[in-house]
Structure 1
Amino acid sequence: MTVHHAAGVGYQRAAGVYERSRPSYPIAALAALADALPLERGRTVVDLGAGTGKFTRLLALTGAEVLAVEPVAEMRQRLAELLPGVAATDGTAEDTGLPDGCADAVVAAQSWHWFEADAALAEVERLLRPGGALALVWNTYDTSVPWVKDFQDIYFRLAPRDLPSPPLTAGLGEHHPVAWREAFDSRKGWGPIEERHWPNPHTTTVADVVERMMSSSHIAVLDAGAQARVRAEVESVLGAHDATRSTGAVDMPYTTDVYWMRYG
């Protein structure tokens, strides 16, 4: 399987900015997954599309052995620098290169929407031991906040038609049906999808909110002139809202959405 051009080139260019500008995840979400899957010493979890290790470092706290899979070399290198105790391998969700039955659980944080669902599910089924589980995690914008909605509107207006998009959250408590669920509807062996959601405010700066946009794969892949125009537009939008007009700290409101299901 090949990596989408926007991810392969965009994340190659923006690995450092990605690590600096993206939020982590609530410890409560990790604790819930650790109990549900479960994750503990003596068990093995595969982290698909691990990126720079934003969620990988939390998985390592459970005591489970973590196998990180990341196809973009620059992201994988950053993960290896930050987490030298975690095995990081070059592979895709559809073709990890890992042995059959090597995992008690598989996790994809901020990445499942990039995968070809049927092929990725076949690979997950191959990796899982009997009774294993798959967990999908996303940080989504709380667009009930006006400046966040305007910010996200830029992201989607500039996205190419074939760009895979993460699930959308219209606001806390409003979680819309999303396309990834459809892959499980006709697939045998999977139990019901369970889910939980947590507020995840990310204290940052206006400058880093701008960098958050610039780390988006389809923005990072643009030429320098186009990137400058995007940066100027984001700065203009942020300057139009009281909450993001200052140069001090700002809370960027995310919701962390966690889904898990058991196989076999």
Structure 2
Amino acid sequence: MEQDERARHRSSFGGAAAAYAEHRPDYAKAAVRWALHAAPGPRVLDLGAGTGKLAAVLAAAGVDVVAVEPDESMLAQLRHDLPEVRAHRGSAEAVPLPDDSVDAVLAGNAMHWFDMAAAGPEIARVLAPGGVLAGLWNVLDDGIDWVAGLARTAGPAVVGPRDTPASWRTETADMHLPATGAPSFGSPERAHFPHHQRRTADTLVATLATRAGVLVMPDQERRDLLDRLRTYLESRPETARGEFTLPMQSCVLRARSLKTRA
């Protein structure tokens, strides 16, 4: 994605903050536990926190969570929905926290937006020795026939890189943190965990409408796409009437800081 286009996609969510909060899924608890495994303590930074989908799972797990989000509208929604979570405006490239102040940095559906050349050293700076960095992504389980059909109908603006298990594995196969300065990170590990979301045809269309590729579309193109998705869902026996389960996976990419105590 060209740099300007990438920036346009990355900044598209603020105008849809309320819909994002209402319709985006949370993360599988097992995925969060794996992401935090062997973190040296309970202090967790949710980086690129959005409206707090991951922060809510972390808070429910009893960790000491602090959220950082660059978009004012998304941050306002997070503060409204999770008043108990400390939340700051900031970015992965300029984290407003002291050195060695957290034991884990987690990013929910956000790490692909980071400029890792700048974010890598910043994340390493705020992590305590032996700390953990993990990116989490919710992807559609296209091993299910009707979900695969939905992905084909939606096209790459909705179901792009990282949005199905196979494409997520391909996209993250060579993902690494740059060894810019010291300390650096160890080799990434990957895992995926079953997850699901209860939806109706209308609420699933509303969920997909919060994807960046849809948010930046011209109005008529977006309406046409969402109409096609609704028509497809209404044509399938699994999704035509009432609530159904959307099969997903929560995928995790995890790396450990090689920082040692002075």
Contact 2:104 2:133 in 1 (8 A): yes
State the Cα distance separating 1:57 from its structure 2 match. 1.2
Matching residue of 1:61: 60
Give the structure-1-normalised TM-score: 0.85
State the Cα distance separating 1:11 from its structure 2 match. 0.8
- Structure 2 gap ranges (5+): none
Contact 1:190 1:261 in 2 (8 A): yes
Matched, 1:32 2:23: no
Cα separation, 2, equivalents of 1:107 and 1:125? 12
State the Cα distance separating 1:229 from its structure 2 match. 1.1
* Cα distance change, pair 155–92 in 1 and its aligned pair in 2 (3 A): farther
State the Cα distance separating 1:155 from its structure 2 match. 4.4
Matching residue of 2:101: 102
Contact 1:197 1:258 in 2 (8 A): yes
* Cα distance change, pair 50–220 in 1 and its aligned pair in 2 (3 A): same
Matching residue of 1:7: 10
Cα separation, 2, equivalents of 1:39 and 1:121? 20
Matching residue of 1:176: 169
Matching residue of 1:93: 92
Contact 1:106 1:128 in 2 (8 A): yes
**What does 1:195-234 correspond to in 2, within 5 Å?**
195-234=190-229
* Cα distance change, pair 158–130 in 1 and its aligned pair in 2 (3 A): closer
| Deviations, residues 12-48 of structure 1 (Å, cap 9, x unaligned) | 12111111221112222233334432553xxx21111
Cα separation, 1, equivalents of 2:160 and 2:169? 16
* Cα distance change, pair 107–22 in 1 and its aligned pair in 2 (3 A): same
State the Cα distance separating 1:89 from its structure 2 match. 1.3
State the Cα distance separating 1:226 from its structure 2 match. 2.5
Which of 20, 23, 31 in structure 1 is aligned with 2:22? 20
* Cα distance change, pair 167–121 in 1 and its aligned pair in 2 (3 A): farther
Aligned residues: 253
- Structure 1 gap ranges (5+): none
**What does 1:123-134 correspond to in 2, within 5 Å?**
123-134=122-133
What RMSD, in angstroms, separates the aligned Cα atoms of the two structures? 2.7
State the Cα distance separating 1:136 from its structure 2 match. 1.3
Matched, 1:240 2:235: yes
| Deviations, residues 215-253 of structure 1 (Å, cap 9, x unaligned) | 11221233432321121111122233221222x011111
Moved more, 178-187 or 190-199: 178-187
Amino acid at match of 2:184: G
* Cα distance change, pair 34–133 in 1 and its aligned pair in 2 (3 A): closer
Cα separation, 2, equivalents of 1:83 and 1:257? 24
Amino acid at match of 1:143: D
Amino acid at match of 2:13: Y
Amino acid at match of 1:13: G
